C-alpha cells in the first residue's frame, strides 16, 4: 500500500532504521534489494545499500486501530475494557470494537460510529499511497441495523405500491441507503433513488410506471 526507497550502510541497517522511523513490525513489510551496496577498497568507492520497501496493509490496519484507541481513551468508561480487532478482506480493513458501554460508541441512530469510521478513513488515507477503505463495526450492530433497514424498506415499498405514491424515508447514512436500494431491487413494481445532500440525504421509494 506504500512503497519507499531506503538506504543504509548495509541491508540490515537500512531495515532497522526503517522499522524505527515508521514503527514497523517485521511482518508488516516486504522489501527488494535494488543495490546491496559495497564496502569498497579501503573505503574508496563504497556505497550504501538501496532497497525498495513495501508497507503491507497490516501495518496501516494496526496504525488506524491505535489511532482509534487513542481517540476513545478520552472517553470515560470505554477505554478500560476496549478490545479492537481487525481483519483484511479484498483490500479493505474491517475493524470491530468490543467491550462495555459500546452503545456510546454507536450513538443515536449510529451517528457516532459513522463519524468514527469517517475519521478513520481520513487518517489512513493520509498515510497511504493508494485509496484505502476502513469499515468500522461495534459488536454486531450493523448486522442488526441491516435487518431493521430491510424491514423498513420492504414495508414502505408495499405502502408505495398500495397507495400509488412516492414515499420519502428519513435521512440515512450511505451504508443504510445502500441496504434500502438493494432491498428494493429485489421487489417488483417499485424503484428507489437517493436525494439531498449529506448529512440529510434520503431515499425515495415510488411505484414504477407500467409501460
**pLDDT at res. 100:** 73
Q: Are residues 51 and 67 in the same domain?
A: no
Q: Are residues 64 and 132 in the same domain?
A: yes
3-state SS, residue 48: coil
pLDDT at 121 over 60: yes
Count how many domains the chain has.
3
Q: Which grid cell is 58?
A: 497490516
Question: For residues 130 and 143, is the Cβ–Cβ distance under 8 A?
Answer: no
Q: Are residues 18 and 81 in the same domain?
A: no
Confidence grade of residue 111 (pLDDT, cut at 50, 70, 90): confident
Q: Are residues 103 and 123 in the same domain?
A: yes
Q: Are residues 128 and 148 in the same domain?
A: no
Q: How much is the average pLDDT of 19-31?
A: 94
Q: CA gyration radius for the chain?
A: 25
Q: Are residues 130 and 149 in the same domain?
A: no
**pLDDT at res. 80:** 65
pTM, rounded to two decimals: 0.71
pLDDT at 85 over 60: yes
How many angstroms separate the CA atoms of 156 and 149, rounded?
Answer: 11
Domain that holds residue 194: 142-207
**pLDDT at res. 57:** 93
How many angstroms separate the CA atoms of 158 and 152, rounded?
Answer: 10
Q: Are residues 135 and 65 in the same domain?
A: yes
Q: Are residues 92 and 153 in the same domain?
A: no
Question: For residues 153 and 179, is the Cβ–Cβ distance under 8 A?
Answer: yes
Amino acid at each position: 500500500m506504500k512503497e519507499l526507497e531506503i538506504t543504509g550502510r548495509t541491508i540490515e541497517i537500512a531495515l532497522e532504521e526503517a522499522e524505527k522511523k515508521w514503527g514497523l513490525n517485521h511482518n508488516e513489510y516486504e522489501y527488494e534489494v535494488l543495490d546491496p551496496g559495497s564496502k569498497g577498497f579501503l573505503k574508496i568507492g563504497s556505497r550504501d545499500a538501496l532497497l525498495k520497501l513495501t508497507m503491507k496493509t497490516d501495518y496501516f490496519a494496526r496504525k488506524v486501530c491505535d489511532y482509534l484507541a487513542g481517540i476513545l481513551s478520552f472517553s470515560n468508561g470505554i477505554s478500560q475494557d476496549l478490545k479492537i480487532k481487525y481483519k483484511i478482506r479484498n483490500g479493505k480493513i474491517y475493524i470491530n470494537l468490543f467491550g462495555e458501554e459500546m452503545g456510546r460508541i454507536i450513538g443515536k441512530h449510529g451517528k457516532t460510529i459513522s463519524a468514527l469510521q469517517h475519521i478513520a478513513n481520513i487518517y489512513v488515507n493520509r498515510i497511504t499511497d493508494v485509496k484505502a477503505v476502513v469499515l468500522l463495526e461495534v459488536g454486531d450492530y450493523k448486522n442488526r441495523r441491516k435487518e431493521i433497514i430491510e424491514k423498513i424498506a420492504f414495508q414502505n415499498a408495499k405502502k408505495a405500491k398500495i397507495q400509488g405514491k412516492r414515499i420519502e424515508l428519513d435521512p440515512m447514512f450511505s451504508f443504510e441507503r445502500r441496504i434500502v436500494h438493494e432491498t428494493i431491487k429485489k421487489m417488483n413494481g417499485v424503484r428507489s433513488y437517493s436525494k439531498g445532500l449529506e448529512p440529510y440525504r434520503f431515499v425515495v421509494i415510488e411505484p414504477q410506471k407500467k409501460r
